[in-house]
Chain A
Amino acid sequence: MTARPHLYALGAIVVLGLLAAFGLREAVVLDLIFTLLLYAVLGQSWNWISGYAGNISFGHAIFFGCGAYASALCVTHGLTPWLAFPAGALTAAALALVTGFPTLGLRGHYFSIATIAVAALVETFARTTPWLGKANGFELPIASGWAALQFPQKGPYVVLALALFAAVQLATIALERSRLGYYLRALRANHAAAASVGIDERRCKLIAFAWSAAMASAAGVLYAQYTLFIDPPSTLALAISIDIALIGVVGGIGTLWGPAAGALVYVVLAKAVALRFGGAGKGYDLVIYGAIICLIAALRPYGIVGTIVDAIRRRRGALA
């Protein structure tokens, strides 16, 4: 499968995004676009470990949190938040390697629950450690300009998110066509056979996990610079990990465009439902969201993109 159509699509999205960033004035729409792109990045980062590598993680928020906290720490120590990109990525990757080394060999559910355990430990650590702000977290002071990575308007944020999204998509396109990508696919198809051909499962998955963590961290940096407030519940909580996982899954695990589709559904749905039903405080939005996920799980488990890809394959007559 050539990369060209995907590159065209990505290019189209970037162009559209830039048009929106420079052309639109409505803060609300730009905010939606930014959120959408950020979730797509998070979903794709999750996709690397849970989709391509096949180890479903429910603790992915901690890597997002690495970036967010790195950003906050940089700012409160008078350093430029740009430093948070490498610092957060390195921390996240290190965390992934350290926690992944022992746990990536675990089967299915054991790994997922291990990720919950690790995430809970990280969250507890942040919540009880003074220099991480404990329960108060950090509020970033208002600043302006590229050096401070903060802008009064939304346009530059959208551009940055777009850049991150494009980078992550390109990396994923590369992954799919790389040796690592093939190894991962082989591992998913049949552990034993792959091992017998000499594929080092642990090494492959660790690499994927580390990259996955670094990407999520980058999203965290942007988030911190955008929201200007981070604390454990908003960056490290289980709920965030679950959201990320659901975006990946609804869109289609292990597919290139799945996370973007999942993010789109999530943002549009959450916003639309909140607008429609929100006011009463009744939780209708949860009911609808939950129902949709159940339906997708039961009827179209490969997610949106997975189903589309499946349909295309079948029409082409290719063997699955």
Chain B
Amino acid sequence: MNTFAQLLVGGLLTGLVFALVAVGLTLVYGVMDVVNFAHGEFLMLAMYGALGLALLGIGPLLGLPLVAIALFLFGIVVYRVFVRRLLAGPPEATVFGTFGLLVLLQGVAQATLTSDFQSVSNPPLQATLRFGPIALSQATLVEGIGALVLTAVLFAFVEYTETGRAMRALAEDRVAATLMGIDVQRVNGLAFGIGAACVGAAGSLLMLSYPVYPTAGAPFALTAFVVVALGGFGSIQGALVGALLVGLLEVFGGFYLAPELKLVPVYVAYLAVVLLRPQGLLGRR
């Protein structure tokens, strides 16, 4: 029974980590129909950034907003210079354009930062917390709370702010939104930037538990794509629900099936959901 409880908690916390990475991705898709395949590399950059700050003595509390802001600006630049042009082309252009970005960013990281695993010495928040029979590390708890906060903040932003409403309008009907006077390029750019900022926050938190290297973001990104598709592209709540589901499936699959097969239930579930409900669990259209 204890094992079950531990697995449950572990699965939920893992899911929250996935949610952390996935919310930024789903926002961008919802607003401009772009799946940023370089999402994992944005995460990787954020982790390097957070690591750099940590080496300068700036801990995660202050480091997180700094990295988030840096990624926000980076996201806006990438949008203005690159993604905007991709959107003007055929739909495949965004797909392989962001793939090119993935390759480019990984290459730049390897060329400038080497492919060594990098981390801080004696990272903070490593102590074990106990809640009855359940044990978890402080870092994992912080990541989990961070995910919930981020999701809530993003949701509030999208629901209650002017810009957020503009984003939702664009997501629903681009032509009508433009006719209503919404500056598409500006809102797109902001959405991309905010998506990047979310990933920035994710990276600062993940740096507590994972070493950083040029391809560090890839496995998270892959799971994020599945999570977002499962939850419904464009739905923030969907991303959270999808992520929790994936986390639970992975952990329980690992224990009751076999660890090397733990992603099988995840992918099977994805395929099942998407077949029965093509727009994902909570997605529109």
Contact surface of A with B, Cβ cutoff 8 Å: 56, 102-103, 105-110, 112-114, 116-118, 120-121, 124, 127-128, 238, 242, 245-246, 249-250, 253, 282-299, 301-302
Contacts and interface: CB of A to CB of B under 8 A. Distances in A.
A117 B268 CA distance: 8
B275 interface: yes
10 contacts: A110-B280, A116-B226, A120-B222, A238-B222, A246-B100, A282-B110, A283-B111, A287-B104, A287-B107, A289-B107
B105 interface: yes
Given A118-B271, A286-B110, A294 B82 contact: yes
Contact of B100 (A116, A282, A297): A297
B214 A105 contact: no
Nearest to B84: A298
B100 A253 contact: no
Contact of A290 (B107, B222, B229): B107
A98 to B, nearest CB: 11
Interface in B262-282: 263-264, 267-268, 270-271, 274-275, 278, 280
A297 B233 CA distance: 23
A287 B271 contact: no
With most chain B CB atoms within 10 A of its CB, the pick from A107, A283, A302 is: A283
A110 B278 contact: yes
A56 B92 contact: yes
Interface of B: 29, 35, 82, 85-86, 89-97, 99-111, 115, 214, 222, 225-226, 229, 233, 258, 260-261, 263-264, 267-268, 270-271, 274-275, 278, 280
Q: When A and B form their complex, which 9 residue pairs have the shortest distance between CB atoms, in order from nearest? A: A286-B107, A290-B104, A293-B100, A297-B97, A283-B110, A290-B103, A301-B89, A287-B107, A301-B93
A298 B258 CA distance: 44
B76 to A, nearest CB: 17
A297 B86 contact: yes
B264 A246 contact: no
A165 to B, nearest CB: 23
Contacts of A106: 274, 278
B214 A283 contact: yes
Contacts of A124: 260-261, 263-264
Contacts of B92: 56, 249, 253, 301
A113 B36 CA distance: 12
Contacts of B95: 56, 112, 249
With most chain B CB atoms within 10 A of its CB, the pick from A253, A289, A297 is: A297
Contacts of A242: 99
With most chain A CB atoms within 10 A of its CB, the pick from B103, B115, B275 is: B103
A282 B116 CA distance: 11
Given A250-B96, A298-B97, A301-B90, 20 more contacts: A106-B274, A110-B280, A112-B35, A113-B226, A114-B274, A116-B226, A121-B264, A128-B260, A283-B106, A283-B107, A284-B111, A286-B107, A286-B110, A289-B103, A290-B103, A292-B100, A293-B99, A297-B96, A298-B82, A299-B85
B34 to A, nearest CB: 9
Contacts of A118: 267, 271
